[in-house]
Amino acid sequence: MPQFSYRARNAQGGLVEGVLNVADRSVAIRQIEQQQCVPIRIDAITTAPRVVEGKATAAATASSASTQNLKVPHGQLLVFTEQLGHLLQAGMTLDESLGILEKRLKQPKLQQMTHALHQALVDGRSFSQALRDFPRVFSPLYVNMVGAGEASGALPEILTRVVQHLMQEKNLRDRVQQALIYPAFLALAGSALIIIFITFMVPQLTNFMSQTGGVLPLPTRILLETNHLIVYYWWLFILLVLAGSAGFKAFVRSEEGRITWDRLRLHLPGYGRIKQHQYYAQFSRTLGTLMENGIPLLKALDLVTEIAANKYLEKKLRDVRRAVIDGANLSSALAAEKLFPELFTDMMAVGEQTGHFARTMQTIADVYERELDRTVQIISSLIPPVIIVFIAIIVGFVVYSILSAVFEMTHSLQFRPH
């Protein structure tokens, strides 16, 4: 019977090597998985030994050092994860799957990343450890879920859930961005139209009126002064913007300043409501996914704190974690911090009491994703009329200023002695 040498990772993350007497490689893979191990490489005994391990290790170290700042787009990461999961589900080892992806993926950065991950496995490192060499590509959530998959021997299933999480996260972000594209374009076009109108058209119309003599009406004079400021003092506006930007960056660079700004962002009209619902959905979806994959609650709280991208929320979640360590339920700890609405914490408390916490968190995510869609639709439908009204007021003021000057000029011409 053929013999196969194998290399795998056990539930504790340790490297396991051995020889199996089985009919073929597929049987070897099944036996390794039955031992709650993740097969990394399986070779027939007759295969030639690999090249010198020391040189490979040195090459991997140099590659790791050169890829610390590597970053790939979210869509390419989704493709990589999805295809890797498919190959593992088809019965291939992790080593073989990465080797195939290295040849199949044509994007240079993605190919470079896959090669480095493949080389790390050859050098004896675990897959989750190799992922940490790319902090700008793989989030702590991604790395820890892969680590949970390696420990449980269910890496293909874990990668499928990671793909679902990445797709839900991408769809959520895309819905918000697409809903705000038209209002942003309308505001930009309206601002450009007003600046062009005041800068170029108003002087041509008002120069003729001012030559006729007489005192121009107040709205016309305000319009001319605005034109004067834009034409001759535009550099001052640029300096003010640069100074304000530098001051703002210095403010948010401090810990207290960043917390204050991040808290303010959550309470801005319209925008703050969108960010709140977006975070409620992201928090519940991520926490539910982690708990479903066997990550302990405290470790899961650490991960959702890291991906909050908001210093105020991070501070509050650290307080929540301390309360959980002291014995409080997560729902009561969140309710005490007034970080989430009552509906959120009440539903979470039901999940804690019934023992279906992970499933309840996914349900909560569905609720707030629908609420986010509704909020985005309402706000995005209100923004265009507000922008149009604002532009109409400015244009109306410009027209009124010009017409009042025309009426004043006509009036002065009627009573001027011939």
Of 18, 23, 151, 138, the residue nearest 84 (C-alpha): 138
Distance CA 156, CA 270 (A): 41
Q: How many CA atoms lie within 13 A of 207 on its CB side?
A: 8
Q: 147 and 13 in contact (C-beta within 8 Å)?
A: yes
pLDDT at res. 150:
75
Distance CA 375, CA 394 (A): 29
| Domain-wise residue ranges, the chain | 3-44, 65-138, 195-418
> What kind of fold does domain 195-418 have according to CATH?
Receptor-associated Protein (1.20.81)
Of 94, 230, 226, 239, the residue nearest 158 (C-alpha): 94
pLDDT at res. 110:
87
Q: How far does CA 387 lie from the centroid of its chain? A: 28
Query: Fold identical between 65-138 and 195-418?
Result: yes
Distance CA 81, CA 105 (A): 12
Paired with 328 in beta bridges are none
Does the model's pTM come out above 0.85? no
Residue 40 backbone phi and psi in degrees, to 5: -100, -45
Distance CA 184, CA 401 (A): 28
CA distances from 342 to 50, 278, 318, 351 (A): 60, 16, 20, 14
**Which residues fall within 8 angstroms of residue 129, CB to CB, at 6 or more apart?**
120
- Reported as type and span, the H/E element at residue 40 is strand 38-44
Distance CA 329, CA 348 (A): 10
Q: Can you give the pLDDT of all 418 residues of the chain as single tens digits?
A: 667 777 777 766 677 788 887 766 777 777 777 777 777 777 777 544 444 344 444 444 444 445 667 888 888 888 899 999 898 888 888 888 888 888 888 888 888 898 888 888 888 788 888 888 888 888 877 887 787 777 666 788 778 878 877 887 777 677 767 767 777 787 788 778 777 777 776 676 666 665 655 567 788 788 778 877 877 888 898 999 999 999 999 998 998 999 999 999 888 888 888 888 888 988 888 888 888 877 788 888 887 887 777 889 989 999 999 999 988 899 999 999 888 899 999 999 999 999 889 899 989 989 998 888 888 788 877 877 887 888 788 878 877 877 777 777 777 666 555 5
Name residue, tokens 């869509």.
75
- Reported as type and span, the H/E element at residue 19 is strand 15-21
Distance CA 70, CA 131 (A): 12
Where on the phi/psi map is residue 24: left (φ > 0), alpha (ψ -120 to 50), or beta? Answer: beta
> What kind of fold does domain 65-138 have according to CATH?
Receptor-associated Protein (1.20.81)
Q: Is 301 helix (H, G, I), strand (E, B) or coil?
A: helix
Q: Can you give the C-alpha Rg of the chain in angstroms?
A: 31
